Structure 1
């Protein structure tokens, strides 16, 4: 655990030294709150609460896909990364440290969204629901962390940036993050339960309000976690084999 914390500290220091990296993760969700949620749903307490939860999920997805997808790919190009993979401690502390650092940055990226929701809209949430939402953030970050790791270990940095951008917006739009609950166009409602974003945002909606979870969305979210974990593990082993065999 001590080694994991050291790796997490290293990762955080490396990212904080480039503030634009932190700013980028928070900008799009905060901008979406200002341009879409505040003027169109800000005066309705229920709609504003659900919309803020959607933007929280949007921010979690953005932070993890780009942070791991692009960050891991860029790290693989640096001489420090192959060196750390030869150390006797193994890969577990480095992985745990990266995940801890990523989770810290994920929560940091949520601050503008939460502040905008609390000050510029009628969104309201109880203290227990707020604590539940904080726990849910860590839970829903899992599939997007795995997705980012799969991209980062599979592709060079220039390709990883493109792939992260290509998968990000279709997943956000197709999962219904940009519309009110159950108010998306018919074709979106048809495909949404099969995407990991839908299961993630439903968990957030259920955490902050009275929203019934769709069993199909939850089942598919579990399937995505298993598939993405297998893909990320395969990509890591493939990269390790190419570098050290």
Structure 2
């Protein structure tokens, strides 16, 4: 299964790299937000710049996985190659694993400009241990957004998936508190954010790089979202398989 998963991941990566604008697009929004809001307004404050950077990393994780998996899966389902691959005896797991691996690789690429902007254009600072913890946390918080993207991709046609991904990413970012630092969002956002996947993810990232305390409410909510979205992704896959192959 491992070799099959790696083969699927390689195929997905090659398919995406052949259209460079797809790679550029996933990195554009968080990088543009860094240059437009973080660098000029809080770039000279080490604490605020550090928190803002990991907020933009969380934003990039969300958008990359929503569009890579949500829109990407729906596009693949519309191609004649997809029904053929799904008839092969390997099963669904290698394809799922390969898609997740390729998504994580593209996500890592999209984060590079954000990290470079923070390093060279702001006073953001982090210890080596904090950087390592933030890297691990980044991959952990990607899980619910990967599952969210898969649920969208397998349950909706291409045109609907694009609209849903576009409609979701900004409200999730704003209500999750990604546009402000810890404790700086409007009251309703501060109350709601810990229970959203974006708010829980941001709080884990803030705790990884600074003195922000771990919020166990948001951790529990993030775990719950992971299970719910995982269930939706499996349901959407089986529903699509039943409709098209039964």
Q: How far does the alpha carbon of each residue in 1:80-99 deviate from its partner, in whole angstroms, 9 at most, with x for none?
A: 11111111111111111100
Deviation of residue 166 (structure 1)?
0.8
Deviation of residue 45 (structure 1)?
0.5
Per the alignment, residue 89 of structure 2 pairs with 88
Asked whether 1:101 is paired with 2:102, we answer: yes
Equivalents in 2 of 1:65, 1:149: separation in Å? 8
Per the alignment, residue 10 of structure 1 pairs with 11
Per the alignment, residue 192 of structure 2 pairs with 191
RMSD between aligned alpha carbons? 0.6
Asked whether 1:50 is paired with 2:51, we answer: yes
Q: How far does the alpha carbon of each residue in 1:121-158 deviate from its partner, in whole angstroms, 9 at most, with x for none?
A: 00011112111111111100001000000000010000
Deviation of residue 114 (structure 1)?
0.2
Deviation of residue 190 (structure 1)?
1.3
Count of aligned residue pairs for this structure pair: 245
Asked whether 1:181 is paired with 2:148, we answer: no
Matches within 5 A, 1:1-245: 1-245=2-246
Deviation of residue 218 (structure 1)?
1.0
List structure 1 runs of 4+ shifted beyond 6 angstroms: none
Deviation of residue 52 (structure 1)?
0.3
